[in-house]
């Protein structure tokens, strides 16, 4: 587990998205900021609400030249069904195997539950962690704060 701080270079990773395509964090470097949302489980009520909220405001992230990545430890097939069912049109990444490795690198893997804790990061175009929040339950103001942070970086 990493003790990740603001100003640190974000741990790089390559994970498969809901379509089975590899997504690598460092591929966005110098091109886009990245908002990373760790969520515990596909199909759970809270996660569904949070991710559909992101979907509904995706254009605001894109306005700030930001890629949105959501990460869980669910298998690829589950996140594909989840994305299709709820019209989630941004990359959902599977940290299924090795189980929780990326969540652990970010210091958000909950060993007792086998899933990431609800956590979010903004990574700037240089690959640096510029904002982070860790929540037990999402609150509407968290998404507003993400958008304010992105606007401040542009």
Q: What is the DSSP string of 40-69?
A: S-TT-HHHHHHHHHHHHTHHHHHHTTEEEE
Asked, for residue 55, whether it belongs to a domain, the answer is yes
Q: Which residue has the higher pLDDT, 56 or 76?
A: 76
Q: Taking 50 as the threshold, does the pLDDT of residue 153 lie above it?
A: yes
Is 5 contained in some domain? no
What's residue 139's pLDDT? 46
Domain region containing 38: 14-153
The structural domain count of the chain equals 1
How much is the pLDDT for 62?
Answer: 78
Give the CATH number of the domain where residue 97 resides: 3.40.30.10
Helix residue ranges per DSSP H, 5-139: 45-56, 58-63, 76-86, 101-105
* Catalytic (active-site) positions: 47
Q: What's this model's pTM, rounded to 2 decimal places?
A: 0.85
Judge whether 98 lies within some domain: yes
Q: What is the pLDDT of residues 121-145, one digit of tens each?
A: 999 999 999 999 987 644 445 556 6
Whole-number Å distance between alpha carbons of 83 and 67? 17
């Amino acid at each position: 587990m990493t003790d990740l701080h603001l100003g640190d270079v974000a741990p790089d990773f390559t994970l498969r998205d809901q379509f089975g395509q590899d997504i690598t964090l460092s591929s966005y470097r110098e091109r886009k900021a990245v908002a990373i949302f760790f969520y515990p489980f596909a199909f759970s009520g809270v996660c569904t609400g949070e991710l559909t909220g992101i979907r509904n405001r995706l254009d605001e992230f894109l306005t700030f030249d930001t890629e949105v990545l959501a990460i869980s430890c669910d298998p690829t097939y589950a996140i594909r069904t989840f994305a299709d069912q709820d019209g989630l049109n941004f990359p959902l990444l599977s940290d299924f195997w090795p189980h929780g490795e990326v969540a652990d690198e970010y210091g958000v893997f909950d060993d007792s539950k086998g899933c990431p804790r609800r956590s979010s990061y903004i990574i700037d175009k240089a690959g640096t962690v510029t904002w982070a929040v860790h929540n037990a339950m999402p609150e509407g103001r968290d998404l507003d704060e993400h958008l304010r942070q992105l606007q401040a970086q542009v």
